[in-house]
Structure 1
Amino acid sequence: FDAPPGFNPPPVSGTFRWQTSCEHISNQPYSVVFKGLDSVSKTIPQLADLKTLKIKVVGPPPEDVQATAQLGVVEISWEKPYFCEDAAENYFFGFSVWRREGSNPFERDTCMPGLAGKGYTELIFITKQELNGRYYFKDTQVERGRTYCYRILAKFARISAGGYPYNLVESLASDEVCVQLPRDLPLITNVSVESTDLLAGNMKVCWSKPVASDLDTVINHGPYRYQVLRAPGLTGGTMQEIPGASFTANEFWQANDTCFTDIGLNTEGQPYHYRVDFYVKGLDTPLGATNDASSVFLSVGSTDQTNLLSWQEAVPWGNYRYDIFRKNDATGLFDSIGFSTTNSYADIGLINGKEYCYYVRSAGTYSIGGIADPLFNNSQENCGIPIDTIPPCAPVLTVGNLCTGQDGPEPDPPYENNLSWTNPNEQCGGSDDATTYRIWFAPTDSEPLGLLEIIDGAENTSFTHELSDGLAGCYAVTAVDSVGNESARSNLVCVDNCPNYRLPNAFTPNGDDQNDLFVPFPGWRFIDRVDMQIFNRWGNLVFATQDPAIEWNGRNAEDKELPEGTYFFVCKVYENRVGGTVLRENILSGYIELIRGGR
């Protein structure tokens, strides 16, 4: 790392150089920490700033991959020496060979080595086989007329004491090389929608003739015949010969590349896939057939100001680009609006409620000579109407009442819970059309929430809930936009009662209408019931009740006046809570002075 020494006025630049080697190849990135220090004076502490940079070292791809095809075999070779084959401690483990039918000319991502998700199958886990000064592999699991594409990966691994590899690391993939086995069969090149209709749709199907030298036209002489077959869907089903889709030539030079238009189809509602059988010498049994190939089938989903396009196809060539076309209402023509290298595209910034129509054109290749390149094929036309399906974001709810210290009414009912929440139109981006709120309530935390109230107007973000029996309950709020999309519920807020229940220690039941009854102190609330028992000095029960008001008049169960004196009580208190009726943890107990005075 080269940087100017000492203190320098900003900006300060430096150069970091790391001479990596093959031994540094790893699945995990390296972390490089840069530290900057200020230096104002010796008496002022230095301040520092840290910056971490992650660097991933990947293995280089194998070079100069070549493939040659013969009947029943493909031979693949690549450059020797490989750049990292002499890595220290035998870190280089070998090569793996990968294959797919049809090409996938993806762009290498240097941060994502390997071939996962690219459609290739690993033919051999590890090899170091050599032939004629090059690394070599023979693929014998091939079928004639097929196009195979190959890539090579280098592998690195640590070796355990027992000789087993671990911490396996893959290099970048080599360039792709494609070969076609002797092409003694036709090659299907196009399945393209010509017109979209439920009953009168048309499909263009094209194929290329076999290669004369591969076919050996002396042995496989004419007459020659192509027969086109069709089945609905992308794959599967039973192929049926298409009436009128049989093409015969007496001589091979007459059996040219051919296109056929298949009419009277439901191209609007489904895709179709095709195959071409090839007959020689006037026989009734085909010599062979092309691979199946389907049309591109487009689907359109809609959301807020957006149409979401996705499409599928099953073809033997590799599609590497998709151009998206949208119908221009002014001209009636389709304009190109973008492209994708995957099977999806989002058309954004649209007007909700307006219909937009599209088709997709795929561009693909077999990556072999003598075949048209690129291969263009159209999907059917499909339309979508953007509609707001995105709900507002959830409000944030708070609830206050006299139990939370919020100003409120006196303890006498009705009681009030004061709800307030945020306006989602102001709270989060992309949520600007909330018009209504729904308030949800349950009297206990074990019951499901039910709709309590509907509040119109996004600016109205408060509500007072009046209750006669207590404050306990659980609340949530949802926001609803102009087309009925409802947000997720807000945070659930459960508020509890704050029971108040205290008992005096004396009363005077002398008939003067002053303290004639033993009752709780004023302001008691949120009590479901009590279990009150009063005893005389000898431990005999003289009064009992479950009424929280108690209202003992100084008489016993036989309605006889009890003498003045000290009585003992025990009172279990059952409170109304958000969890239901709950026994208060602390049981009330103490002494009561019964005073009759000068009556």
Structure 2
Amino acid sequence: MNRIFNKSAKILIALILLTKMTINTYAQCKNKAEPPGTVSGQFSINGTKVQVVGDGDGNSTASNNIPVKICEGETITLKNTISATSTTGVNYWLMPATQYNALTAPPSTPNTANASYMTISGDASIPVNTSSSWYTGPGIYVITQGDNSGNGTSNDYHHACQVIEVIKPSTPVITYSVCNATLIRLKLEADPNNNYDEYEVKFSSTSSLFNPTFREKPTSYPHTVSSGPFPDQSDRIITIKGQSKTGSCPAPVYTSPPISMTGTMINRPLITAIAGTAIAKEYKMTVLAQTTIQRKVYIRDPLTTSTYDYTNPLLTYTSTATTLFDDVTVTVPNQDRQYCFRTEALDAVCPATIFNPANLSNEEVCTTPAKVAVINNEVQASWLRALTNITGGVFADYRVERVNANGTIDKVFPPISNISTLTLTDPDVVCGKDYIYRVITNYGQKSTSQLLNIQATSTKSLTKIANVFADVEATAKTITIKGTFTTGTGEPSPSDMVEYRYYKSTSLNGAYQLLQSTSPAVNSIKDNNVSIDDQSYCYYMTWKDLCNKESDPSQKVCSILVSSSVSEIDWTPQSSFSLATDYYRVNKVNPNTGITLKTLADNLKNIYSYNTIGLPDSEGQEIFLQIEAKPISGGITQNTHSNIVRIYRPSLLLNPDAFTPNNDGVNDKFIIYGRFIQKLKMTIYDRWGSVVFYDETNSFPSNSQIGWDGFLKNGEKALQGMYIYKLEVEDTTGQVINKEGTLFLTY
């Protein structure tokens, strides 16, 4: 035995001296520099002969460089398969590939190679587990065989190696599908757990005699296995076990839950509609959904063919079945041409190999190309004539709809049952406004055109603003201008407008300038840049449509200016309404709040002045007046007002120049007479300037008999003769009046 090792050592030393190998693969047997006469060794792993040819000539695809899978926990049996007449022993070494690749020559002794088996037969049984000194866990290892056995003619050195991969037993990872309720298609996924050389796959049922078993040796993943058609629809259970190539493998078995074979029958597809979108050439076709079932969509041009090319689908997709129907997007070559479609149902997991007419839709749908244009201020929709020979459909009518941007219906037109009527006109459009139309051909299944966008144009004149007025807000010192349309005169809605415009002048026929614009939602303004007590202002209104056209001006209106002169007031005759003024009224108002206290004159038609002379003193010394105008019957229901003016009526002070305090009931007292007097102070002097009498009151209307009765302060009668009086009077407006004079006292 030592002689064998010594000979091997010499050979190995020679190899080391002659060559130094570069490792580019898992393993290269370290024997490339062996002396002449050396032949390749041979051995088996678990009874399976490995195809070992030297070192594989450095070829990574040589059989000895392709790993043989061994499961962790297995015991592998190695056996020399070379016939020899002299049997001096066979050595095996196992070590990690990284350790082996670091060598420059074959292992020389068992001590350096970690494992040595020297038996006459060359057999060796090696457990693959952590108790083995060479084993470090799942991964790549190299088995090396060396011997000095002869073949009967000479002593030949045999040498071989084989890469193995130790894998950790894991449950196989699969997915599966039931195909048209007739068979099961499972897939071994590309997963690290699927690392076996071979799999045993069983499709079992306790209630059926048909229980097929398959042995699969995948060359790549994912790998598909089909059960083949089942003769019945019994529930099935899949069991899968992974195995290594060279022996049994203690791998976990995958067992599926019971799989129902009663569903997933392929339904013939049903097409209910096709509808164009806002994208050119794009349509959405509505097809009844069915989970996991594949669809093929076919297209034809009815101008060129009446049949479909079922070998060349336009589109292939798988139904998602998240809703009752699939919306399938198709694109046509020319949006101005008509195209028709049919669909075919296929099992996506188990696709058919030939076309099956039984899986083709019973109906076809055809597009409805359409256009819109503005003609004579109206929008006209036009479309191509419906086909009369489509499969599964009969023409019923056309329908045109006007829709909003959010997809809701804005206007529906009456259906058109004449197949040859191919236009419809919509007069109800506004210049500058965007509209969306669609045309629907009803065959039973509906064909909707693409969304047709257009902006309306018009040469029509715009409706004038009929009802305009100017109202003075006296306390705020502003003028409100407001306008409305008369209902039923073609008035626009706010959505049909860009703005209202307000023009202003200082006289009815003067030059007007643009004052302000407002949005269509606001049809009034307040003009703050006015002096309402000094002059009248005139206005008119217009509006602009979405084409930026401006309407003709409304009738001009002017604010009411009232002015006063002593006891009379006058106001401007220009109407504050675009409609005529019916009449005026004169109101007494609170100047601070503008609230009407009393109407002094009413129903003044074509009268523009009012005199206050006839008003009783009870109306007050100071009166604030405002004119209120009422329009004739029409679209304006609000009255207008003027500024507020003040009428001042002077106070009146009278007194006698003599009195006779003789108790005869006539002129017995020197008293004051007057109107609008609020306060009074009275002082009487004798001829020497001494005060003989004084009295005062702050409420003269309630104390009007204040005065001198001819008695002195000491209670004696004053002497007959001349006296001097001084009066200080304050009227109801706070104005003070001083008066002096003489009076004669006689008995």
Q: Fold match, TM over 0.5?
A: no
Output the TM-score relative to the length of structure 2: 0.27
Output the TM-score relative to the length of structure 1: 0.33
Which structure ranks higher in relative contact order (CA pairs < 8 Å, sequence separation ≥ 6)? 1
